[in-house]
């Protein structure tokens, strides 16, 4: 699907209804004062699940084999 090179293209970001309204510095600081709590929470849950999975592999797969050698 190719476009005609003679046809002009306008980005949807150029129209005012697709651009967020500007906010003042105090509002931005109030919104950002807590930091990225959601990202930290998601990272913590991910690392916790990864660690639990590692423990399951260790105790359910490797330990029943016993000593090798």
pLDDT tens readout for residues 17-63: 777 788 899 998 988 888 888 999 999 999 999 999 999 998 998 88
pLDDT (0 to 100) of residue 3: 65
pLDDT at 69 over 70: no
Assess if residue 52 is contained within a domain. yes
Assess if residue 44 is contained within a domain. yes
Assess if residue 54 is contained within a domain. yes
Residues found in the chain:
69
> Hey, what are 4's tokens?
């005609």
Residue 8 has phi, psi (to 5 degrees) of -80, 150
Q: What is the total count of domains within the chain?
A: 1
Range(s) of the domain holding residue 57: 38-69
Assess if residue 55 is contained within a domain. yes
Rounded to two decimals, the pTM is 0.52
Assess if residue 11 is contained within a domain. no
Question: Residues near 12 by Cβ (< 8 Å), separated by ≥ 6?
Answer: 18
Assess if residue 48 is contained within a domain. yes
């Amino acid at each position: 699907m190719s476009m005609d090179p003679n046809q002009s293209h306008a980005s949807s970001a150029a129209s005012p209804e697709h651009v967020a309204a500007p906010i003042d510095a105090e509002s931005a600081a109030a919104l950002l004062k807590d930091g990225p709590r959601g990202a930290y929470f998601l990272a913590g849950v991910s690392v916790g699940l990864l660690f639990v999975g590692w423990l399951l592999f260790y105790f359910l797969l490797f330990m029943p084999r016993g000593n090798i050698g």
